[in-house]
Chain A
């Protein structure tokens, strides 16, 4: 059964339709690629399913419950977590506290329990020296911290919006392996937005393609990458 589905999901920003009539589903344990040229509506789509934005029309269900208008904090408590394309560290909290936030507020853990699970998750991601301020972190470490914080919510569905952007190829390889392992061990459904097609090919089981807000193709990376409409969309975007 699908964990997360959308039906006819649409978001218009005063005239501009950023997400247009998108119906999709995400199943347990699957890593889904969400691709499309710049401005295709990928980030807006994640904002809609995570509750950061409310849709103009259409609906969203999570494990059979209608969550179309549920507040973001309710969705994270239900099991939908995400990271941001533009990093969102909590700069007045230590690294460990940043990660604890997810555990404390989504899973109602005590500070002590939250610290323990945050430490375990950071160890899994090989993120160390957790008493540091976020200002002292490298870009890779910030991305790891934000993934760790999302995981501390103990989600069933996780969206990663361009977490690999800005990393070198070794770091990217390492993070791909980590995401695969985490998804497998937790039976997590992961939605991945990336512009680097190598990452999408390596990481995902299935891909959806957005162009100008519309879902134009769906399937494995191999089939989708041969789809003329997709090639056209990317070439059109590049021209």
Chain B
């Protein structure tokens, strides 16, 4: 029963999201795309975090996907929609190759290496003038779907749905057991048949592919990119803030965080155009200090406490 209602809620929310363009104008659709992009990135970051690995490389894969897509169209004459698929596979393949080196690292060493990789991608693109357009970036002759706001929205929504689907699968399948076991206790995981490297590699490849996919969708929707745009540190920092605010180790946490922070961000940008990043920073610090479980974690805890209180009054004599 409980499952059925949650599926129903999910279906209704999905239907409303699909229907947004019928009653929203171009500006709110644009804001929605930005929120959805950060939401997808936050979810992918969280998926890897469930194994205990903290990545600072989201912007790197996002930028890599952007460039893979835009260059496939410009230099290879690829169909724009197909280039998004290509960029997804390319980012995943890159993560697969890099995974063999960096997934042996743990904790701070892993995090710093992912950060360094992002910087390497950016510098390489920056310096390959003839092929990548160098620091000035590259421009597409036309935006995908002729720039139709509804079509762009649905494209981004499609990317988000794929991400949510993958994250949901990770929560409901044996990936959940594998990643949680790795996060809690690698020794125990190994002694119970968990091939730690295999599950980290799967997760790293899947999440990197989706980060690349969101980069490709973004670049095809705007029609241009440059190293400083594609590898903008915001693509690393905001997803972290969103997931921490909403609640880590779940799919709904980052979703709630993205809506809240996304809407707040738009509002802040209008109110304090130059100071909004400072406010983000303050939010991150406050959340880490006072709500390490995020919003969703707090709600769950409150729910559990209420449940316990109810049980105790019901059955006192145990």
Contact = CB atoms under 8 A, between A and B. Distances in A.
Nearest to A92: B180
A188 B78 CA distance: 61
Interface string B180-193: 11011101111111
A10 interface: no
A146 to B, nearest CB: 9
A65 B16 CA distance: 59
Given A73-B195, A105-B194, A106-B193, A90 B178 contact: no
Contacts, number: 84
A59 interface: no
B191 A105 contact: no
Interface in A47-106: 50-52, 71-73, 76-77, 81-82, 84, 88-93, 97, 100-102, 104-106
Interface in A148-185: 149-150, 152-153
A5 B42 CA distance: 50
Interface in B156-198: 173-174, 177-178, 180-181, 183-185, 187-196
A89 to B, nearest CB: 8
A72 B190 contact: yes
A50 B192 CA distance: 10
Interface residues of A toward B: which range?
A: 20 to 34
A98 to B, nearest CB: 9
Contacts of B122: none
A30 to B, nearest CB: 22
A76 B194 CA distance: 9
Nearest to B178: A105
A102 B189 CA distance: 9
A111 interface: yes
B33 interface: no
B173 A50 contact: no
B200 to A, nearest CB: 13
Contacts of B196: 73
Contacts of B178: 105
Contact of B191 (A72, A91, A100): A72
> Main secondary structure on chain B at its contact with chain A?
helix
Contacts of A76: 190-193
B174 A91 contact: no
Interface residues of B toward A: which range?
A: 20 to 34
Nearest to A90: B184
Given A88-B187, A93-B181, A101 B194 contact: yes
Nearest to A146: B188
Nearest to A50: B191
Contacts of A107: 193
A28 B174 CA distance: 32
A71 B192 CA distance: 12
B180 A153 contact: no
A81 B191 contact: yes
A106 B177 CA distance: 13
B174 A104 contact: yes
Given A73-B194, A105-B193, A93 B177 contact: yes
Interface of A: 50-52, 71-73, 76-77, 81-82, 84, 88-93, 97, 100-102, 104-107, 111, 149-150, 152-153
19 contacts: A51-B190, A52-B187, A52-B190, A52-B191, A72-B190, A72-B191, A73-B192, A81-B192, A84-B188, A88-B188, A92-B249, A93-B184, A101-B189, A104-B177, A104-B193, A105-B189, A105-B194, A106-B192, A152-B192
